[in-house]
Amino acid sequence: MAAPVQSPVDTQAATTQTMTIGKALNNGLRASMEADPKVLVMGEDVGKLGGVFRVTDGLQKDFGEHRVLDTPLAESGIVGTAIGLAVRGFRPVCEIQFEGFIFPAFDQISSQLAKLHYRTQGKLKAPVVIRVPFGGGIGAVEHHSESPESLFSHIPGLKVVSCSNPVDAYWMMQQAISSDDPVMLFEPKKLYHSSALKAPVDTTATPDPLHSSRVVRHGDAATIAAYGPSLPVALDAATAAQEEGRSLEVIDLRTLSPLDLGPVFESVRRTGRLVVVSEAPSEVSLASEVAARVQQECFYSLEAPVQRVTGFDTPYPPAKLEEHFVPDLDRVLHAVDNALEW
């Protein structure tokens, strides 16, 4: 997958390192902690173990136990403590070990964290980042492979973003931490250590704005919109379609709340067709919202109904069945065929 274009501030002083997504997230955390002593990391096994996916590896050793805190198994307590720390001037970064463990903290996130700034008429800020490894593809058991991002995108007061490559992982982490509003960063766990997605990261570049989508591949036959773990599948579909003479445009949504659909509208007005790809169930989802907004804004440009390729509206299946659950190359290409047949 092609890395996003970066605009160096000073090409002579640029420092470029090749990283995986997991390493880029680690380096982004490290850069923020070096820049601001008020940045704290907290969560289950984030310290000595370095997290179950090793994203926080080495941070406790380098910054100390007072800044990288191993917490009890209590997600509500983790987020509630982070809210209190934020009110006292800190910038806590919470790790939810797996996305399926987040629901004990749902009340703290939706009733307290998301509303604190509004409830106090701006007197209090809530600079809290909640890191959420999400999605399937790791052969895990129940509660370890879900995609709950749509639930949190429905909550006013939360910002929700997702990275799909090392460049975005590095910069999104720092941008989220510097925000005075709560940000949920959904990280595609199956891509953490993918060697195929290793990319050079210029640590002196000027990053894209946090809440912006990006065209990552140009085309004119149809548009595919995806994010997080589904973006590599979308790009693979575009490569396969190119071999058959069909040019597909691929857009990485990146920001899930607020959505930045301007590039999607512009693309669909040219291609006339849209396929939305996501691992989450389709009903009342981000894929549904993108489809509805495109049909509202681009109705007279559409040559076919918007197609959705998503997880099914069932609980996440056992590991032996997950390859049939998550969107794959064949399902995406089938949706493209459906769109082009109109």
Q: One-letter amino acid identity for 226? A: A
H helix or E strand, kind and range, residue 255: strand 255-257
d(C-alpha 209, C-alpha 213), whole Å: 9
Please, are residues 102 and 132 in contact by the beta-carbon 8 Å criterion? yes
- CA dist 301 and 305 (Å) reads 11
Q: Of these residues, 144, 193, 211, 324, which one is catalytic?
A: 144
Is 144 marked active-site? yes
Does 156 sit behind a cis peptide bond, omega within 30 degrees of 0 on the bond before it? no
Residue 208's CB is within 10 A of a number of other CB atoms, namely 21
318 contact partners, CB below 8 Å, separation of at least 6:
141
**Cα–Cα dist 44/104, whole Å:** 14
Contact 179, 209 (CB under 8 A): no
* Cα gap 152→244, rounded to integer Å: 39
Residues belonging to the active site:
144
